[in-house]
């Protein structure tokens, strides 16, 4: 089996807090979107460069800043300066190989979650990192590329008399986390459907291709579970009430998101158990097929054993042998061979040795 070579990150040897993007570039051009809102209204602005964002001053109380694309460290440096983010937070945002986690600082929370979506008609599961920073009056989100996961939240925020506007930014952070967790269900359903299709193939047409498909589904299941399990710990920490940035009312909603993660973990465990059962079914099917083929070959060999015995007896080099002087001796021997083979074949058929 070929193993992937481990590449040393480009930031190896550099001091902590060095802003270098680690990961794939998934957008052609980074973009910055600012949504400022309060009870009376909402304004949305999109900036194509850091210089354009520097010239703008927000006029409303609550802010949601979303960034698509992480390949430009200058953007992260400017945002870190404006919102007084720690250099280690900026470093983690640019490193897109983080596991789901939460870190608490003096005036804000930093949270990392994974977002999954299916590509190539559901045949391939891709993972993106989403970083979320929650402050007293702002929420910052950083995505590798536009995914559409936050589009429902954005539309709810734009609606008139939306509860998102009347609540604090902690409720917006909850809504964003809830949108990410809700997106997991569609991906988990696709993985479960793929596993059920493999189960049907294992029962009807067990082929060597099944093992490669089974391995791919198992890898997807393992990847999603590695993201959901620490996310459950993140939500559990938020529910303990150790940070004042989430109010008591918002924690009630976070409890619902926590329940969703438990449901996801149980669903993934069920898919993992199903994949194990499919492997057992495949191995049993292959073993049964091999046993059937060996049994048929054994029966065929036994059918020819009497003929081999008779031919061997009459092939002995003795001067006086029965039937050697008779004109029909050859045909009598052939008839005897056929009769014995037919009798044994009927016996095997009655014992169902020639049938599955």
In tens, the pLDDT along 126-169 reads: 889 999 999 999 999 999 998 889 999 999 998 887 888 888 89
pTM (two decimals) = 0.78
- Classified by CATH at the fold level, domain 293-350 comes out as Methane Monooxygenase Hydroxylase; Chain G, domain 1 (1.20.58)
Provide the pLDDT confidence category of residue 4 given band limits of 50, 70 and 90: very low
Provide the pLDDT confidence category of residue 7 given band limits of 50, 70 and 90: very low
Identify whether the C-beta of residue 255 lies closer than 8 Å to the C-beta of residue 173. no
Lowest-confidence range among 150-154, 207-211, 269-273?
Answer: 207-211
Provide the pLDDT confidence category of residue 355 given band limits of 50, 70 and 90: low
Domain definitions of the chain by residue range: 31-284, 293-350
Identify whether the C-beta of residue 27 lies closer than 8 Å to the C-beta of residue 71. yes
Q: Is residue 338 left, alpha or beta, with left meaning phi > 0 and alpha meaning psi from -120 to 50?
A: alpha
pLDDT at residue 9 in the model: 52
- For the structural domain made of 31-284, what CATH number should be given? 3.30.460.20
Q: Is residue 13 left, alpha or beta, with left meaning phi > 0 and alpha meaning psi from -120 to 50?
A: left
State phi, psi for 119 to the nearest 5 degrees: -130, 170
Tokens 């008839």 belong to: 335
pLDDT at residue 134 in the model: 95
Residues β-bridged to residue 65: 34, 140
Identify whether the C-beta of residue 346 lies closer than 8 Å to the C-beta of residue 352. no
Indicate if the pLDDT at residue 6 is higher than 50. no
Give the length of the chain: 356
Counting residues of the chain whose pLDDT is more than 70, the rounded percentage is: 92
Higher confidence at residue 115 or residue 121?
A: 115
Taken in order 85, 88, 91, 97, is the CA torsion positive or negative?
negative
Q: What is the mean pLDDT of residues 218-235?
A: 90
Mean pLDDT of the chain: 84
């Amino acid at each position: 089996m070929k193993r992937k070579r481990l590449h040393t990150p480009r930031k190896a040897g550099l001091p902590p807090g060095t802003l270098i993007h680690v990961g794939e570039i998934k957008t052609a051009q980074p973009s910055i979107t600012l949504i400022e809102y309060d009870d009376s209204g909402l304004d949305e602005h999109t900036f194509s460069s850091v210089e354009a964002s520097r010239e703008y001053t927000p006029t409303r109380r609550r802010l949601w800043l979303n960034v698509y694309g992480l390949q430009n460290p200058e953007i992260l440096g400017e945002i870190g300066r404006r919102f007084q983010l720690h250099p280690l937070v900026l470093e983690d945002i640019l490193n897109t190989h983080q596991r789901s986690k939460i870190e608490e600082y003096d005036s804000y929370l930093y949270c990392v979650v994974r977002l999954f979506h299916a590509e190539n008609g559901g045949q391939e599961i891709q993972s993106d990192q989403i970083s979320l920073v929650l402050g007293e009056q702002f929420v910052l989100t950083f995505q590798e590329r536009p995914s559409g996961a936050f589009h429902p939240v954005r539309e709810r925020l734009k609606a008139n008399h939306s509860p998102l506007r009347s609540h604090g930014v902690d409720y917006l952070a909850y809504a964003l986390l809830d949108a990410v967790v809700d997106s997991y269900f569609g991906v988990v359903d696709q993985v479960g459907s793929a596993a059920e299709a493999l189960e049907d193939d294992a029962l009807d047409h067990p082929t060597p291709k099944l093992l490669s498909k089974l391995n791919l589904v198992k890898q997807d299941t393992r990847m999603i579970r590695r993201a959901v399990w620490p996310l459950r710990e993140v939500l559990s920490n938020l529910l303990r009430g150790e940070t004042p940035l989430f109010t008591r009312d918002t924690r009630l909603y976070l409890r619902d998101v926590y329940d969703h993660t438990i449901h996801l973990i149980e669903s993934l465990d069920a898919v993992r158990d199903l994949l194990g059962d499919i492997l057992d079914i495949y191995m049993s099917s292959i073993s049964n097929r091999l046993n059937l083929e060996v049994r048929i070959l054994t029966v065929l060999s036994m059918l020819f054993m009497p003929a081999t015995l008779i031919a061997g007896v009459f092939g002995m080099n003795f001067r006086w042998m029965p039937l050697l002087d008779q004109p029909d001796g050859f045909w009598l021997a052939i008839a005897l061979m056929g009769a014995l083979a037919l009798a044994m074949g009927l016996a095997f058929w009655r014992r169902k040795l020639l049938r599955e």
